[in-house]
Amino acid sequence: MYGYHGHVLEVDLSDGSIQSQPLNTQVAKDYLGGRGLATRLFFDTVDPSCEPLSPKNVLVIATSPLIGSRAPTGCRGHMVFKSPLTGMIGSSNCGGTWANMFKSTGYDALVLKGKSSEPVMIDIGPEKAEIVPANHLWGLDVHETTERLTSEAAPGRSPRILCIGPAGENLVRIAAVVNDKNRTYGRSGPGAVFGSKNLKAIRVFGNKKIQIKDEEHYRSGLDQASYLLKAAPATKRILRELGTSGLVELINLIDMLPHKNFQDTAHTDENTDRVSGETLSKTFLERPGGCYGCPIACQRHTRVKDKKGEGPEYETDVMMGPNCDIYDLEAITHANYLCNELGLDTISFGGTLACAMELFERGFISQEETEGMELRFGNAGILEEMVKRVAYRKGFGDKLAEGSLRLARFYQHPEFSMTVKGLEIPAYDPRASFTQALGYMTSPTGACHLRGGYAVSLAFFGGTREIPRFSLLQSPIAIRNLQNLGILQDSLGVCRFTGFAFSADPWARIASGITGLDFSTSRMEEVANRIATLERIFNLKAGLKIEDDTLPNRFSKESIRVREKEITIPKDAIQKMRSEYYNVRGWDTQGKPSKSLLRALHLDGGEV
């Protein structure tokens, strides 16, 4: 198989068995790779009703046929699992170097089952894969684990390490899995799934190359992609200069920057400047960096006094910053470093902390419960301490470790959890864009700007594709299209930022040239629809209801000011957009895929 190695590695941690299974050629054609391949393998292996932190949960990591080629940004792996945070499908994507090295071991995907009776790691190379005791690693943070496993590798090898920190070990529901010390599979709680299986790390080293079927066709797409990336301002210059935190000023300008647990979007210019990408570049930035084979280089390699690390990214900056009424960039950066070291999703951590702050200020959490800690908005001094308490489930941190929805339910005020399906909303207030609101509502993983469709790019700098941000008519089709493009990018193993420069056409040429298969843009659209529908089927089997495709009541009841107007998202607007979205997806009024759609997508037998 061109572009693929044709092998899937299956590891059962319960009985210690390891098997190499052939990759089904038709599955590769129908699901491409990455998110699509992982979703199919996951769906075929797991019981949707399983408890996410039980041995019955399955976690799949998959690569794509572009990984191992020179495709720009083609280095991203994708994890799929049942989320311990939402109970729905968990889907998390990450760059760095691990996925590229994993593929060079000769496997296209890894399927993890069961639970080890003691802490273990998995060592994977071209010659063999084995489960190795990891008691000596348990309790180490991400950086310590990475350094230990790298130094213990065989002479002459430079392996790549994927691991969890104490947060994953302690089954924190917002725990991440990390590679390259600071690149995270963050959303939906994959770190807790690793921890529930007593799996500390996966070390990989390989040297196997992929073969390309049609070099000329592949190169035509490669040249087109490279040219467009160099021509677009965002991918040529802006992201390299400012990183993702360069969005702070822009998102504030369009009245979308959340404040005080999404109570409003009101910030002073002085405050936003203090946490902007421009200020980060002037103060703490040492150099930009990029993932494997990436020409964009949006990474921020930073230093605060004697401490080095990466970030913060935009989402981290805002969710632990303005959304908590904190504008202390040094405190945010230190807390970000600590989240990476201990293995926490910074988006969910920031959202959960903001929820706790609101509950505290409204008198539902007492200072006695927080061991004397002033859990008030604006208190930057508690950031690092709260990261530690959550990661180690220490004291009040044990409640935050469950995520904001379980926290708010414990205090009988779930309305203060800014989540969809239990996943914390990222750093874009949905009232400022109905398109983004619909993306959050219909994301298969819960509130996610990536799985849900990054509508900010469309509504404000989409060029000829730009649509009005409050359009009820255009939002359903626009979000369907954005979600499909995101599915393709995740399945191709490439970065979402390439979407600032081009859509699917260069990828279609590259993928077709590498594999020799028909991955035309129309075929890719079919693949994306198939993956979206399969994710929906899993969620329905896991218990999803139409009522889960909605937003917290705050966004319908409490307004924000957008261009001097008071804006909410009325309930009837939510219902109208959701209904029309189901229609354009080919789902019925309850969000179930129709039989005719299932037949057209070759998903017969997938009825719920």
Kindly state whether residues 254 and 178 are assigned to the same domain.
Answer: no
Domain of 254, CATH number, reads 1.10.569.10
CA angle 310, 316, 321 (to 5 degrees): 120
Q: Of the candidates 143, 176, 204, which is a domain's last residue?
A: 204
422: Cα separation from own chain's centroid: 15
Residue 193 to residues 60, 172, 227, 598, Cα–Cα distance (Å): 11, 9, 41, 31
Q: Of the candidates 389, 423, 457, which is a domain's last residue?
A: 423
Question: Would you say residue 527 lies in a domain?
Answer: yes
Question: Would you say residue 510 lies in a domain?
Answer: no
Task: Kindly report, residue by residue over 139-159, the tens digit of the pLDDT.
Answer: 999 999 999 999 998 887 899
Task: Kindly report, residue by residue over 534-574, the tens digit of the pLDDT.
Answer: 999 999 999 999 999 999 999 999 999 998 899 999 999 99
Rounded to whole angstroms, the Cα distance separating 426 from 433 reads 13
Kindly state whether residues 22 and 51 are assigned to the same domain.
Answer: yes
Kindly state whether residues 416 and 445 are assigned to the same domain.
Answer: no
Tokens of 392: 């180690």
Kindly state whether residues 18 and 74 are assigned to the same domain.
Answer: yes
Q: Of the candidates 144, 178, 204, which is a domain's last residue?
A: 204
Rounded to whole angstroms, the Cα distance separating 44 from 26 reads 14
Residue 443 pLDDT level (bands cut at 50, 70, 90): very high
Residue 11 to residues 19, 25, 60, 111, 197, Cα–Cα distance (Å): 7, 21, 10, 6, 12
Q: Given this model, what pLDDT does residue 596 score?
A: 93
Kindly state whether residues 460 and 340 are assigned to the same domain.
Answer: no
Q: Given this model, what pLDDT does residue 469 score?
A: 83
- 148 phi and psi, to 5 degrees? -65, -45
Task: Kindly report, residue by residue over 31-63, the tens digit of the pLDDT.
Answer: 999 999 999 999 999 999 999 999 999 999 999
Rounded to whole angstroms, the Cα distance separating 578 from 365 reads 35
- Residue 405, SS3 per DSSP: helix
Q: Given this model, what pLDDT does residue 170 score?
A: 98
Tokens of 149: 């496993």
Q: Which domain holds residue 555?
A: 433-500+520-600
Q: What single letter denotes the amino acid at residue 325? A: D
Domain of 16, CATH number, reads 3.60.9.10
Kindly state whether residues 493 and 524 are assigned to the same domain.
Answer: yes
- Whether 71 and 510 have beta carbons less than 8 Å apart is answered as yes
Question: Would you say residue 515 lies in a domain?
Answer: no
Question: Would you say residue 210 lies in a domain?
Answer: no
Kindly state whether residues 402 and 448 are assigned to the same domain.
Answer: no
Kindly state whether residues 419 and 450 are assigned to the same domain.
Answer: no
> Into how many domains does the chain fold?
3
Rounded to whole angstroms, the Cα distance separating 457 from 440 reads 15
Q: Which whole number is the average pLDDT over 494-515?
A: 92
The DSSP annotation for 301-312 comes to: EEEETTEEEE--
Residue 562, Cβ neighbours under 10 Å: how many? 18
Domain of 542, CATH number, reads 1.10.599.10
Kindly state whether residues 128 and 263 are assigned to the same domain.
Answer: no
Kindly state whether residues 440 and 363 are assigned to the same domain.
Answer: no
Question: Would you say residue 485 lies in a domain?
Answer: yes
Percentage of the residues of the chain whose pLDDT score is greater than 90 = 88
Task: Kindly report, residue by residue over 324-380, the tens digit of the pLDDT.
Answer: 999 999 999 999 999 999 999 999 999 999 999 999 999 999 999 999 899 999 999
Q: Given this model, what pLDDT does residue 132 score?
A: 97
Q: Given this model, what pLDDT does residue 564 score?
A: 85
Percentage of the residues of the chain whose pLDDT score is greater than 70 = 98
Residue 108 pLDDT level (bands cut at 50, 70, 90): very high
Question: Would you say residue 124 lies in a domain?
Answer: yes
Question: Would you say residue 223 lies in a domain?
Answer: no
Kindly state whether residues 294 and 402 are assigned to the same domain.
Answer: yes
Question: Would you say residue 506 lies in a domain?
Answer: no
Kindly state whether residues 271 and 387 are assigned to the same domain.
Answer: yes
Tokens 């770190």 correspond to what residue? 191
